[in-house]
């Protein structure tokens, strides 16, 4: 499967946007990675004008919790355009996956807030470093 994700998938890309692509294969090996790299490098648009950011995962990695931070299972499905292949997520399970994704993000925010409180960091740094990164 090949998914277009990020700003181009959402329709809010600008001149500074990179092109985010998730490539999901039955298995990952050197040949697969080299092929993805060649495809990303050999486009009609030079890299300095459009950075193509590819992420390559196996189906098992994509579905695993270990790689969840990389694939953000539910978020990738919802903020993506399937370019090739079949959807990996069954629609009836999507609500549970969305809730898990939001809970992970909230846990990250909570842990950051606790850290900043413990070390007495200025709240402006928290807002700048964390909230802008997420939103």
pLDDT tens across 51-73, in order? 898 888 888 888 777 777 666 65
The gap between the terminal CA atoms of the chain, to the nearest Å, is: 27
- Per-residue pLDDT of 1-27, as tens digits, reads 898 988 898 899 998 899 999 888 999
**Cβ–Cβ < 8 Å for 20, 53:** yes
| Greater model confidence, 39 or 63 | 39
CA 74 vs. chain centroid, Å, equals 10
**Cβ–Cβ < 8 Å for 112, 126:** yes
pTM of the predicted model as reported, rounded to 2 decimal places? 0.61
Strand-pair category, 52-58 with 19-25: parallel
What pLDDT is recorded for position 135? 47
């Amino acid at each position: 499967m090949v998914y277009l994700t990020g700003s181009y998938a959402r329709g809010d890309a600008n001149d500074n946007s990179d092109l985010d692509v998730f490539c999901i294969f039955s298995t990952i090996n050197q040949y697969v990675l080299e092929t993805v790299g060649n495809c990303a490098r050999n486009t009609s648009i030079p890299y300095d004008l459009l950075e193509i950011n590819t992420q390559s995962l196996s189906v098992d990695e994509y579905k695993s919790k270990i790689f969840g931070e990389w694939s953000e299972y539910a978020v990738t499905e919802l903020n993506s355009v399937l370019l090739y292949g079949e959807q990996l997520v069954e629609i009836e399970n999507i609500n549970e996956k969305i809730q898990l994704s939001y809970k992970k993000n909230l846990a990250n925010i909570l842990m950051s807030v606790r850290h900043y409180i413990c070390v007495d960091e200025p709240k402006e740094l928290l807002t700048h470093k964390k909230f802008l990164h997420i939103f």
